[in-house]
Amino acid sequence: MLGLRRHGARRVAYVDIDAHHCDGVEHAFRDDPEVLLVSTHEEGRWPRTGAITEWGAGNVFNLPVPRGFHDDDMARVREGVILPAVAAFRPDAIVMQSGSDGVLEDPQSRLALSNNAHAGVLEGLRPLAPRLMVLGGGGYNPWAVGRCWTRLWGALTRQEVPERLPAEAEAVLRGLRWQRRGGGSWVTPPEEWVTTLADPWRGGGPTEGVAERVEFLAARLRAWA
Ligand SMILES: [Zn+2]
């Protein structure tokens, strides 16, 4: 963030869809009205910060999300909070922290996203970004991490998502080994983890609490913008 400032970006929007709250970034920039902070994160998960009531200097928008948060929920958050907040802020640069630990296959979070959620947020932010920095973040299932971030790289470089991965990519994914924590079992990946890049869409009816929280932040946005 400070590096972007040194390179001429005064107003920086930081959008974090990692399953954990961006506690350190918020601590550093919550009093800086020229930084916009928008975070979605699983409620109750370490570091247990990021309450929806944390406002900073009016620049902090936290959306704790419940277990089971899925792609349709994220689309609602994207359209109701993330994109309107960033558009109203008129940033010189956007930083997207795209932790992939919110996907269904991740062993830590209890969220149910697919990598379509990450791609959708990135595609939405892109036209709002005079400069765009996309970061990785958390992610504890190596297949899901590799596929998610490769998908984002493909989106950034405007490449088509293939129905089936080329043989070289499949070989990389087949070469991964992952043992569950605490000396647990070695995981045998299902075929779609090694032969595809895009997940199937994981949607459904609104997860309880999401619509109300989106509306709460949208009302704040209308007063702020
Ligand atoms: Zn995380």
Q: Ligand 1 being an ion, which residues bring their Cβ within 5 A of it?
A: 18-20, 99, 101, 138
For the stretch 150-172, pLDDT in tens is 999 999 999 999 999 999 999 99
Separation of CA 18 and ligand 1 centre (Å):
5
Angle 72-69-129 from CA coordinates, rounded to 5° = 60
State the distance from the centre of ligand 1 to the C-alpha of 160, rounded, in angstroms: 28
CA of 223 to the centre of ligand 1 (A): 30
**Percent of the chain whose predicted confidence (pLDDT) is above 90:** 96
| C-alpha of residue 101 to centroid of ligand 1, in Å | 6
The alpha carbon of 111 and the centre of ligand 1 are apart by a number of angstroms equal to 11
Q: Say whether pLDDT at 67 is over 80.
A: yes
Q: Is the pLDDT of residue 225 over 90?
A: no
Instruction: Report how far ligand 1's centroid is from the alpha carbon of 167 (Å).
Output: 30
Domain containing residue 15: CATH number: 3.40.800.20
C-beta of residue 16 within 8 angstroms of C-beta of residue 25: yes
What's the 137 CA to ligand 1 centre distance in angstroms? Answer: 6
pLDDT at site 199? 98
Task: Please give the average per-residue pLDDT across 189-194, as a whole number.
Answer: 98
Distance 98 CA to ligand 1 centre (A): 9
What is the whole-number distance in angstroms between the Cα of residue 136 and the centre of ligand 1?
10
Q: How far is CA 126 from the centre of its chain?
A: 14
- Averaged pLDDT, 79-88: 98
Range of the domain at 188: 2-224
The whole-number pLDDT of residue 224 equals 85
Query: What is the 102 CA–ligand 1 centroid distance (Å)?
Result: 8
Question: Is the per-residue pLDDT at 206 higher than 90?
Answer: yes
**What is the residue-averaged pLDDT of the chain?**
97
Q: pLDDT value at position 11? A: 98
Residue 141 banded pLDDT, cuts 50, 70, 90: very high
> Per-residue confidence at 55, pLDDT binned at 50, 70, 90?
very high
Question: What is the Å distance from ligand 1's center to 14 Cα?
Answer: 15
| Residue 183 pLDDT | 86
Number of structural domains (the chain) is 1
